[in-house]
Amino acid sequence: MQPDKRHEELCMDLMSKHDVLVDLIGDAPFHYVDIPTHGNVGDLLIMHGTLAFFHKKGLVPKLIAPYFAYDTRWIARDDVIVFHGGGNFGDLYPYFQNLRENIVQTQKRNRIIVLPQSLHFSSKEKMAASAKLFRTHGDVHICVRDHVSFKMAQEFTDHVYLLPDMAHQLYPMSAAVNHPSQQTLRISRVDDEGGAQDALPDIDVATVTDWPEFVGAREENINLFRRAIGAFFRRGMGRYANRMLVRLWIAYSARLVTDAAQLFARHDLIVTDRLHGHILACLLRRKNIVLDNSYGKNSRYVEAWTSGSEQVTLQKPNREIHIARSDAMSAVI
């Protein structure tokens, strides 16, 4: 098998695993809730992958809304609530979890689907309290991205599905770069999920950045979108915000995703502790070394889904690894 062939087959297989979502949503009208309106490119990749999946399957959301501009009074009897995926299921990012718990508590008649998530709680007590609340609803379906999360999610519902991240629906991606450099891009977290990582000797790192630095001055535009959507919602014009402003935001955020793809495509090796740094590299068919985040999310994901690719190397702390730089040579770190 040619080197790239194994990676291509793996990526195509990952996309096919999402087909179960078509049956879960069915023919019902559905809300796509909790979309990201910030500069985290990983979340934007998830959103655009989700929208690509909907388009491929002929699924059209009744409405799309961020967490701060969503009114449960919009939910009709037969509507399905589909929550954005990612890594915010737990108490690390309480705003998003609070919305999920509120809808679980108040919308007993509606099916609730959580798209692929990684679960993390700071204590067993907090997890148990949230799970008890979810168990009061009989039609919650939680999709998870790794085996540890799968086991945790079984405390919340009997309907748990092990699925890859929705960003894989963007495969294959291309970027307008004629020739990549022979150097390395490193994407290193600067937030609370950043993990302590070993140095990477013998690798020529040309660029070091993180999503906030990459977004840079465009953060002001992102904040304008957030403020505008919030302002319309507070003035009772939330449906207009869903129809118009959210569509504009989706178009604008697609530009950020394209720019991130161009940055990655200019390098022949990506080193990252960002899960979606890894996934974006896979979408672009770039070799990548995956470092872990603060609570093991990245290694759990690679071990579940992408370790079979010849493009992917998972580095665990204090382990010597080989990086395939070409068919003929490798570097040892």
The answer, yes or no, to whether residue 70 has pLDDT greater than 90, is: yes
Q: Are 270 and 184 in contact (CB under 8 A)?
A: yes
Look-up of token digits 């604008």: 252
Residue 207, both tokens: 């660029």
Mean pLDDT of 79-105: 95
How would residue 200 be classed by pLDDT, with cut points 50, 70 and 90?
low
Q: Is the dihedral of CA 228, 231, 235, 239 positive or negative?
A: positive
The percent of residues above 70 in pLDDT, for the chain, comes to 89
- Looking at residue 199, its pLDDT comes to 53
Mean pLDDT of 183-203: 70
CB count in 10 Å sphere of residue 76 = 12
How would residue 162 be classed by pLDDT, with cut points 50, 70 and 90?
very high
Please state whether beta strands 287-290 and 205-209 pair in parallel, antiparallel, or not at all (unpaired): unpaired
Domains of the chain in start order, with CATH, are 3-169 (3.40.50)
Q: Are 225 and 252 in contact (CB under 8 A)?
A: yes
Residue 195 vs residue 165, higher pLDDT: 165
Assign 3-class secondary structure to the chain: CCHHHHHHHHHHHHHHHHHHHHHHHCCCCEEEECCCCCCCHHHHHHHHHHHHHHHHCCCCCCEEECHHHCCHHHCCCCCEEEECCEEEEECCCHHHHHHHHHHHHHCCCCCEEEEEEEEECCCHHHHHHHHHHHCCCCCEEEEECCHHHHHHHCCCCCEEEECCCHHHHHCCCCCCCCCCCCCEEEECCCCCCCCCCCCCCCCCEEEEECHHHHHHHHHHHHHHHHHHHHHHHHCCCHHHHHHHHHHHHHHHHHHHHHHHHHHHHCCCEEEECCHHHHHHHHHCCCEEEECCCCCCHHHHHHHHHHCCCCCEEECCCCCCCEEECCCCCEEEC
The 10s digit of each residue's pLDDT in 145-156 is: 999 999 999 999
CA geometry: angle 35, 285, 86, nearest 5 deg: 20
Give the lowest-confidence range in 53-67, 84-98, 172-186, 290-304: 172-186
Give the lowest-confidence range in 86-95, 169-178, 198-207, 292-301: 198-207
What distance in Å separates the CA atoms of residue 269 and residue 301, rounded to the nearest whole number?
A: 19
